[in-house]
């Protein structure tokens, strides 16, 4: 346990130092590896923190005065230091990293005062026997209310990391809601704005995003699959689900711009001085595989048109189990993500030749592929910003619970 404690303290300080270095120089081309390394060490740090937390039940000599401040810091880190960002704004990460460095140094200094030999744990601090039944029982009693909270924090942190990985950092889950991220990439005088989107969100989120685009001399490569042959059997809209959740759908996002076609990209002087140009950069439904269209029709019929969200999910899942397999899922994802990414990226060379700024507000699942392509063209991440898309505190949980209870009674 002494070795584990020392590893934890060393990792804790190294994580702070790496975080500071990443903040200062992590965006330069030669130091792009700092951010992944910082995240990797952070994962190890969480693991060792949990081991030490449990170890306090089995080793009565673990210095709690030394370890508790760093352990509490890790717990706070699992919820993204909420609500510090709301209070400190853009300076919150600097405060966090300096605080982590200070806590780590104070922990080492306190341990030096305890053992009079080293700032790290030494063997004389852990005489045999380390186990005590009394210590374990005390730990269990004290942690009756604490242990469920720790498990919840670990679960929340795991889900948050999964959301971050699946969205390539364009979605951020925090205790108060789901945030969407805008990343700006630059190469010389050219810049590309990638806005991660989801189909549902607060109306204020879409209004804020629209306002940020107002008056820009740029081109927006818009998302939205057309259906010129009428292959969809119903109105494919998320508005009904949005109404059930008290949210707005992405369709409600209105951009004040000038609609242009692909031919306008060759007319270099044809730019709007006051409004952003909007180009429909998606594909038509007829380019999808027939199995993808079948799945989309089922999604629209069973889920999007359902009066109950829970019942809609149940019916669509039942249909999926009977009519789809792993091959179908791969085809659907290829059509919905890769094929459409290829389409929007095909407009990029001409768009960048004509405009200094290109805006791509597409679904978050598109972003990993789009980001890889943009970085491959020599662009580098310049800055990023977050917007609250779904505020958990404003969701109608009581209404959803009552609807679900009513459905269960009716089914009985």
Task: Identify whether residues 189 and 125 lie together within a single domain.
Answer: no
Is the confidence at residue 302, as pLDDT, over 60? yes
Is the confidence at residue 103, as pLDDT, over 80? yes
**Strands 357-363, 219-222: parallel, antiparallel or unpaired by DSSP?**
parallel
Per-residue pLDDT, 118: 95
Task: Identify whether residues 260 and 375 lie together within a single domain.
Answer: yes
Average the pLDDT over 268-297 and give the result. 91
Domain span at residue 29 reads 2-161
Confidence of residue 403 (pLDDT cuts 50, 70, 90): low
Can you give the pTM of this predicted structure?
A: 0.84
Confidence of residue 324 (pLDDT cuts 50, 70, 90): very high
Task: Identify whether residues 341 and 258 lie together within a single domain.
Answer: yes
Confidence of residue 217 (pLDDT cuts 50, 70, 90): confident
Residue 328 in tokens: 């179908």
Does residue 309 contact residue 244 with C-beta atoms inside 8 Å? yes
Average the pLDDT over 157-178 and give the result. 91
Task: Identify whether residues 207 and 283 lie together within a single domain.
Answer: yes
In terms of pLDDT, which residue wins out, 308 or 93?
A: 93
Task: Identify whether residues 155 and 259 lie together within a single domain.
Answer: no
Confidence of residue 272 (pLDDT cuts 50, 70, 90): confident
Task: Identify whether residues 43 and 176 lie together within a single domain.
Answer: no
Q: Lowest mean pLDDT: which of 179-193, 204-218, 398-412?
A: 398-412
Task: Identify whether residues 133 and 184 lie together within a single domain.
Answer: no
Is the confidence at residue 90, as pLDDT, over 90? no
Cα–Cα distance measured from residue 203 to residue 249, given in angstroms and rounded to the nearest whole number: 8
Does residue 11 contact residue 108 with C-beta atoms inside 8 Å? no
Per-residue pLDDT, 405: 59
Per-residue pLDDT, 254: 75
Average the pLDDT over 113-129 and give the result. 94
Per-residue pLDDT, 27: 77
Per-residue pLDDT, 408: 55
Pick the last residue of a domain from 161, 196, 231.
161
Per-residue pLDDT, 406: 60
Share of the chain above pLDDT 90, in %: 70
Pick the last residue of a domain from 145, 161, 177.
161
Average the pLDDT over 365-391 and give the result. 93
Does residue 23 contact residue 94 with C-beta atoms inside 8 Å? yes
Does residue 37 contact residue 17 with C-beta atoms inside 8 Å? no
Task: Identify whether residues 69 and 192 lie together within a single domain.
Answer: no
Per-residue pLDDT, 86: 83
Average the pLDDT over 139-164 and give the result. 94
Per-residue pLDDT, 243: 85
Cα–Cα distance measured from residue 200 to residue 168, given in angstroms and rounded to the nearest whole number: 19
Task: Identify whether residues 215 and 332 lie together within a single domain.
Answer: yes
Task: Identify whether residues 7 and 147 lie together within a single domain.
Answer: yes
Task: Identify whether residues 216 and 93 lie together within a single domain.
Answer: no
Is the confidence at residue 92, as pLDDT, over 70? yes
Pick the last residue of a domain from 135, 161, 187.
161
Q: What is the pLDDT of residues 343-362, one digit of tens each?
A: 999 999 999 999 999 999 99
Per-residue pLDDT, 87: 87
Task: Identify whether residues 300 and 228 lie together within a single domain.
Answer: yes
Within 13 Å and on the Cβ side, how many CA atoms surround 250? 17
Per-residue pLDDT, 311: 87
Cα–Cα separations (whole angstroms), residue 234 to 189, 249, 303, 321: 45, 17, 12, 22
Q: What is the mean pLDDT of the chain?
A: 91
Number of domains in the chain: 2
Give the residues across from 260 on adjacent strands.
279
């Amino acid at each position: 346990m002494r070795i584990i404690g020392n590893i934890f303290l060393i990792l804790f300080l190294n994580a702070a130092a790496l975080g500071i270095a990443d903040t200062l120089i992590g965006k330069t081309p030669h130091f792009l590896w700092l951010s992944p390394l910082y995240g990797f060490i952070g994962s190890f740090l969480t693991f060792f923190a949990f081991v030490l937390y449990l170890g306090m039940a089995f080793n009565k000599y673990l210095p709690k005065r030394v370890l508790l401040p760093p352990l509490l810091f890790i717990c706070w880190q699992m919820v993204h230091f909420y609500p510090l960002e709301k209070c400190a704004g853009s300076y919150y990460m600097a405060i966090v990293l300096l605080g982590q460095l200070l806590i780590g140094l104070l922990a080492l200094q306190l341990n030096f005062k305890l053992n009079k030999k080293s700032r790290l744990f030494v063997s004389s601090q852990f005489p045999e026997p380390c186990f005590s039944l009394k210590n374990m029982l005390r730990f269990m009693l004290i942690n009756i209310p604490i242990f469920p909270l720790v498990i919840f924090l670990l679960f929340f942190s795991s889900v948050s990391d999964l959301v971050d990985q699946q969205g390539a950092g364009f979605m951020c889950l925090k205790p108060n809601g789901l945030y969407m991220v805008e990343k700006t990439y630059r190469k010389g005088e050219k810049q590309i704005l990638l806005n991660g989107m989801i189909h549902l969100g607060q109306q204020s989120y879409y209004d804020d995003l629209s306002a940020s685009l107002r008056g820009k001399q740029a081109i927006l490569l818009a998302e939205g699959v057309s259906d010129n042959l009428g292959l969809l059997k119903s109105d494919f809209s998320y508005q009904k689900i949005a109404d059930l959740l008290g949210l707005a759908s992405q369709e409600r996002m209105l951009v004040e711009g000038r609609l242009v076609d692909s031919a306008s990209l060759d007319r270099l002087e044809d730019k709007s001085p006051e409004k952003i140009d909007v180009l429909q950069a998606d594909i038509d439904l007829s380019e999808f595989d027939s199995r993808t269209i079948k799945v989309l029709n089922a999604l629209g019929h069973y889920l999007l048109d359902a009066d109950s969200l829970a019942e809609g999910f149940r019916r669509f899942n039942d249909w999926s189990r009977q009519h789809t397999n792993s091959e179908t899922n791969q085809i659907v994802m290829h059509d919905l993500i890769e094929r459409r990414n290829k389409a929007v990226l095909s407009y990029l060379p001409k768009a960048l030749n004509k405009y200094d700024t290109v805006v791509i507000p597409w679904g978050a699942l598109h972003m990993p592929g789009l980001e890889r392509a943009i970085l491959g063209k020599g662009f580098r991440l310049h800055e990023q910003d977050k917007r609250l898309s779904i505020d958990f505190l404003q969701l109608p949980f009581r209404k959803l619970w009552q609807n679900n209870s009513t459905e269960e009674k009716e089914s009985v």
